[in-house]
A and B are shown apart, each in its own frame.
Chain A
Amino acid sequence: AQKITQTQPGMFVQEKEAVTLDCTYDTSDPSYGLFWYKQPSSGEMIFLIYQGSYDQQNATEGRYSLNFQKARKSANLVISASQLGDSAMYFCAMRPTDSWGKLQFGAGTQVVVTP
């Protein structure tokens, strides 16, 4: 069975600083996908970034980048130049190849950006 672990329940970060959110996963699947989603207080899950297990390069999407270390089974999210609007819950998720519809989410990390 797959498992996603996010060890940081909450973090404070100052505006304009970078922050790294940790995510480790456990799977025996050779092929899988990793996602990060943001959930503001409004409740909607917003897609941030995707990394495929066979992708050679780390994914980047604007201020978001993914530090993918396959051997360590970690997929940490880096948010550069934090903004007040980045305050939200952040979830790491994995999609196994053989269960395409079934994203498995971690418990999340609450990020609060301070002025």
Chain B
Amino acid sequence: GAGVSQSPRYKVAKRGQDVALRCDPISGHVSLFWYQQALGQGPEFLTYFQNEAQLDKSGLPSDRFFAERPEGSVSTLKIQRTQQEDSAVYLCASSSDRVPNEKLFFGSGTQLSVL
């Protein structure tokens, strides 16, 4: 596609529910990133894939958070047993090459509200 696509755009969940957030990167981009952005703050790194390999998941806040990219394209971020502190915008980004000045292309995010 023309850009990074994320769905749903908005998600409301009751506390304790599981949610799945989808990211469609730009076609051909090998690297994919997930970030979490709390209200009024900058994005915080969650995890990073190169193709289907998850190379860094150090930012995942707990074992309730799980990300996958089984075929090296679409990625899903899953949050189990959601808590109110999980409310945030979840941003996905992709990039085409692993060079120092390579910019990330971001999607518009999924705004998750946990009630």
Interface centre among B42, B55, B100, B107 (most CB of A within 10 A): B42
A52 contacts B91, CB within 8 Å? no
> Residue on B with the closest CB to A91?
B42
Interface centre among A42, A102, A107 (most CB of B within 10 A): A102
Tell me, in angstroms, the Cα distance from A14 to B104 when the chains sit together.
30
* A68 at the binding interface (Cβ < 8 Å): no
B100 contacts A102, CB within 8 Å? no
A-B contact pairs, 20 of them (CB 8 A): A4-B42, A35-B103, A42-B108, A43-B108, A43-B109, A43-B111, A44-B107, A45-B93, A47-B103, A91-B42, A93-B42, A95-B100, A101-B55, A102-B45, A102-B56, A103-B45, A105-B44, A107-B40, A107-B41, A108-B41
A39 to chain B, nearest CB (A): 9
Tell me, in angstroms, the Cα distance from A50 to B31 when the chains sit together.
18
Q: Give every chain B residue within 8 A of A104 (Cβ-Cβ).
A: 45
Given contacts A45-B91, A91-B42, A108-B42, contact A103 B104 (CB under 8 A): yes
Known pairs A4-B42, A33-B101, A47-B104. 16 more at Cβ < 8 A? A31-B100, A42-B108, A43-B91, A43-B109, A43-B111, A44-B3, A44-B109, A47-B103, A50-B101, A52-B100, A91-B43, A101-B31, A101-B48, A102-B56, A103-B45, A103-B104
B15 to chain A, nearest CB (A): 24
A23 to chain B, nearest CB (A): 11
List the 3 closest A-B pairs by CB distance, nearest first: A101-B48, A105-B42, A45-B106
B48 contacts A102, CB within 8 Å? yes
Q: Give every chain A residue within 8 A of B59 (Cβ-Cβ).
A: 102
Task: Tell me the chain A residues, 32-50 only, with Cβ under 8 Å from chain B.
Answer: 33, 35, 37, 42-47, 50
